[in-house]
Amino acid sequence: MTTLQRPKDQSSWALANIDAKCRMLLYARLWQLCAKEVSVTTTLMHMCDLTGPTASPPNAHGLPTTLPYTCQYAMDMAYAAPPGPHKTMQKFKHCLCRMLLTMVNTSNVTSEMRGIHKNPELSWPRVWTNLHAAGLSNSINSTWYAAIHDTVSTNEQLAAIHLTTTMSCSQCGTTDTLIHRITKCEEGPVIRNWMRARLAALLRVHPKHVSEEWTLHPSFHYWPPQKQAVIVWISWST
């Protein structure tokens, strides 16, 4: 499972697994052809003994290598329960899709993102919830997604992998980190102070209590939800 297919509360966008979905549609269509129609495909599936439940554990030996989809069908459908007399094709497709997704997720385990490794103490489910609930444009969401995952190429990162000779900011000469770019360089302090003043007024606290980390890792949670939404929107839309 790629990071883009993880649930939204696990650092991603919950995109569909296109590979599993396409395989599900192909297998369901092949099953329908074998059950109802007479065609070249049906004849081939009969020759390969693939018109019913396949053996488990799967064995693709002897299947034509020039038709790789038949081999894959035999391997995957060994773990699929055939549709019974009371199961509709739609339910059969749902079962197939769940089975294929389970197989894909089990075999493709991805590691945690770099930002999570660097800041394990944060409440990351809350960070992702705030990101997706902010109600901002797609372009702003994409920008903050890259910032939270620490994938913005600053001079500090480039120097660490020897792609530049200096970690210094080209504008002010201090170390070029992501938080420096956002809050401390050029117009950053002006925007940051304006934002802190607005949030402090909303929360009825002194501006010093508005954490700088909220800009990159918004792990805060306030009640009611409307107040939470306003805080997230001000923190990221500026």
Longest dimension (CA), the chain: 78
**What's the residue count for the chain?**
238
Chunked into runs of 10 residues, the chain (238 residues) has average pLDDT values of 60 71 87 77 79 65 75 82 78 86 68 73 84 79 82 88 89 89 87 89 90 83 87 80
What pLDDT, on the 0 to 100 scale, is given for residue 125? 85
Confidence (pLDDT) at 11: 57
Query: What are the residues whose beta carbons fall under 8 Å from the beta carbon of 75, sequence distance 6 or more?
Result: 58, 60
Q: Phi first, then psi: what are they for 173, rounded to 5°?
A: 90, -10
> Cβ neighbours of residue 88 under 8 Å, at least 6 residues apart?
none
Beta carbons within 10 angstroms of residue 97's beta carbon:
19
pLDDT reported for residue 108:
58
- The Cβ of residue 133 has, within 10 Å, a number of other Cβ atoms equal to 14
According to DSSP, residue 105 is labeled H
